[in-house]
């Protein structure tokens, strides 16, 4: 049974491309009014135009506290409130210890974990006023929590911090009628994954996943729709692993080598 999100006001970060855009499209298709936040405005505007009248775009660099607050304020001004936030944005720092600059380390932590804090803090009174209860959904990762990816130490650390925030914040806002949950994807066939792995690398990696393929933005969007729905009203502080079984079979042939080779090339260049 499909969910009905008519009159629901949704804010999605990192919505210009890839996973974030897929999430925004899914909510809009279910009837929601959606604000697409993106550090680069042009792709967000293109996505909003493709979605149609229920979507708006706003430029927001989530590594900045003031811009997170502005994104919430613009959403409230445009839609009269906000009921659901899906935090997809992430400035991904590729590299292990000794191979990530202080600037990239800070940008990764800020865009992933700090931004979640800033967004929820700014939106809290509005989410508390949501007719069916406010929803905050963070896109985490199996990296740094359920598994370890070579040359992705900084990224895994930031995603682990995000999950710690989800658990703590869930109790901070439970009396306001707000739930806070996370989704932990494995490899998702997004624009960024294609850029890092290439078509052949993405296909090769997908073949090593127990279910036989990489995830898609639509897979993650389905989980977001559930967490945002009244059906998930009894769920908070939870994290849903969505990796096709990869974290259950960390030694599965080839997967680590494919990622390690591609990410090493990213760091070196």
Closest C-alpha among 5, 183, 25 to residue 84: 5
Within the chain, strands assigned E span 9-13, 33-38, 55-59, 84-87, 134-139, 178-185, 239-242
How confident is the model over 157-182, as a mean pLDDT?
98
Residue 3 lies in a domain: no
Lowest mean pLDDT across 56-65, 183-192, 246-255: 246-255
Total number of domains in the chain? 1
Answer whether residue 69 is part of any domain: yes
Residue 263: per-residue pLDDT: 47
pLDDT tens per residue, range 28-49: 999 999 999 999 999 999 999 9
Residue 4 maps to a domain: no
Check whether 183 has a pLDDT greater than 70.
yes
**Domain assignment present for 238:** yes
Residue 85 included in any domain: yes
User: In this structure, what CATH number is given to the domain that contains residue 242?
Assistant: 3.40.50.720
Distance between CA 244 and CA 170 in Å, rounded?
Answer: 26
Enumerate the active-site residues.
Answer: 155
Q: Shortest CA distance to 120 belongs to which of 58, 155, 172?
A: 172
Backbone torsions φ then ψ of 55, nearest 5 degrees:
-125, 145
pTM of the model: 0.91
- What is the mean pLDDT of the segment spanning 122-145? 96
Higher pLDDT pick, 254 / 224: 224
User: Is 2 within the bounds of a domain?
Assistant: no
Residue range of the domain that includes 150? 9-268
Within a domain: 156: yes
């Amino acid at each position: 049974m499909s969910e009905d999100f008519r009159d629901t006001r949704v804010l999605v970060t990192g919505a210009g491309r890839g996973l974030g855009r897929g999430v925004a499209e899914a909510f809009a298709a279910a009837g929601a009014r959606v604000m697409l936040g993106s550090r680069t405005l042009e792709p967000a505007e293109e996505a909003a135009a493709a979605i149609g009248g229920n979507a708006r775009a706003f430029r927001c660099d989530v590594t900045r506290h003031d811009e997170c607050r502005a994104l919430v304020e613009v959403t409230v001004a445009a839609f009269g409130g906000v009921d659901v936030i899906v935090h997809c944005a992430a400035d991904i720092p590729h590299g292990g210890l000794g191979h990530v600059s202080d600037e990239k380390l800070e940008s990764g932590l800020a865009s992933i974990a700090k931004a979640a804090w800033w967004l929820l803090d700014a939106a809290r009174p509005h989410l508390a006023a949501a007719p069916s209860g406010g929803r905050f959904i963070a896109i985490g990762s199996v990296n740094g929590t359920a598994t370890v990816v070579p040359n992705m130490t900084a990224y895994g650390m930031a995603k682990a911090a995000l999950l710690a925030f989800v658990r703590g914040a869930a109790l901070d806002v439970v009396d306001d009628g707000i739930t806070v949950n996370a989704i932990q994807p494995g490899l998702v066939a997004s624009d960024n994954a294609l850029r890092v792995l290439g078509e052949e690398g993405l296909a090769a990696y997908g073949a090593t996943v127990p279910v036989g393929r990489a995830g898609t933005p639509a897979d993650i969007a389905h989980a977001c729709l559930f967490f945002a729905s009244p059906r998930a009203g009894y769920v908070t502080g939870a994290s849903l692993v969505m990796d096709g079984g990869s974290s259950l079979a960390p030694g599965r042939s080839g997967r680590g080598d494919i990622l390690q080779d591609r990410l090493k090339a990213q760091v070196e260049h």
